[in-house]
């Protein structure tokens, strides 16, 4: 099973630092996801597994009207609170993402962001169904995860293994666990929700990462690390409405 409090203590503090200026989170995943987001001015955003609040701060700086963050780790929520200060447009909830988002109404968000989170969960399909429910028609889901090829290169064995793996977390001296999946599983679970795929990117580190860690910068330019997608909740088609009448 996944553990909503896995990112506590030393791992949480290490992750928060990494997400601030690390080559992978700050300079590979986040710039790619924010580029996929485009213009967020005036949007109501849900940040699922918001961690230390880096996306929340960035989205608000780019003009998002309101951001709701959901996170299982108390330590990371403290970091998120420190980062977003007393911003009245930010609301933070402690919640286990293995459970439904019952505290969030239907059709209530323009944009849902799920950055490097859903591979930690066993209830991936259930979470995706919940995100479809809370997105307004026409709304956007941005989701990133570990690239299936990166997992295969790292863990070996069969590309098609979908087991839960335990990995060393950078130089933190700690580990965390997540469930690997094939590209087929990753994409089909998303498409099964009814969301439509608009864009897929395999991000490489930006130039800023060179200053931080040249070796890891180069690595992301040779081996895929993450995959990120932009999905759209389409308006119900008129003929579906007619069929229901």
Ligand X SMILES: C[S@@+](CC[C@H](N)C(=O)[O-])C[C@H]1O[C@@H](n2cnc3c(N)ncnc32)[C@H](O)[C@@H]1O
Q: Interface with ligand X by CB under 6 A: which residues?
A: 2, 4, 7, 15, 19, 25, 49-51, 54-55, 71-73, 76, 96-98, 115-117, 120-121
Closest to 228 in 3D by CA, of 71, 115, 129, 128? 115
Nearer to ligand X, 73 or 193 (CB): 73
Closest distance to ligand X from the beta carbon of 16 (Å): 9
The residue count for the chain: 245
Nearer to ligand X, 74 or 196 (CB): 74
Closest distance to ligand X from the beta carbon of 235 (Å): 28
Nearer to ligand X, 108 or 176 (CB): 176
Closest distance to ligand X from the beta carbon of 114 (Å): 7
Closest distance to ligand X from the beta carbon of 76 (Å): 5
> Where do the H-state alpha helices sit in the chain?
9-21, 30-37, 54-61, 74-84, 124-134, 148-155, 183-192, 208-212, 214-220, 238-244
Q: Tell me whether residue 45 is exposed, middle or buried, using C-beta atoms within 10 angstroms of its C-beta: 0 to 12, 13 to 18, 19 or more.
A: buried
Nearer to ligand X, 117 or 231 (CB): 117
């Amino acid at each position: 099973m996944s553990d909503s409090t896995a990112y506590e203590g030393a791992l949480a503090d290490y992750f928060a630092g990494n997400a601030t200026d690390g080559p992978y989170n700050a300079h590979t995943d986040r710039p790619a996801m924010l580029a996929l987001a485009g213009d967020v001015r005036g949007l109501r955003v849900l940040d699922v597994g918001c961690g230390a609040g880096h996306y929340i701060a960035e989205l608000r700086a780019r003009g998002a009207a309101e951001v709701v963050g959901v996170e299982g780790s108390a330590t990371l929520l403290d970091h998120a609170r420190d980062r977003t200060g007393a911003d009245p447009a930010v609301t933070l909830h402690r919640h286990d993402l293995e459970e439904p988002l019952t505290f969030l109404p239907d059709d209530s968000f323009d944009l849902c962001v799920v950055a490097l989170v859903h591979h930690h969960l066993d209830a991936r399909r259930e979470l995706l169904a919940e995100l479809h429910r809370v997105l307004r028609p026409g709304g956007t889901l941005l989701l990133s995860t570990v690239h299936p090829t990166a997992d295969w290169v790292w863990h070996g064995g069969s590309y098609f293994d979908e087991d839960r793996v335990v990995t060393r977390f950078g130089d933190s001296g700690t580990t965390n666990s997540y469930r690997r999946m094939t590209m087929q599983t990753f994409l089909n679970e998303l498409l099964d929700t009814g969301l439509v795929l608009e864009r897929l990117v395999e991000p490489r580190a930006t130039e800023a990462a060179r200053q931080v860690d040249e070796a890891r910068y180069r690595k992301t330019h040779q081996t895929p690390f993450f995959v990120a997608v932009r999905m759209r909740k389409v308006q119900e088609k008129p003929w579906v409405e007619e069929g229901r009448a």
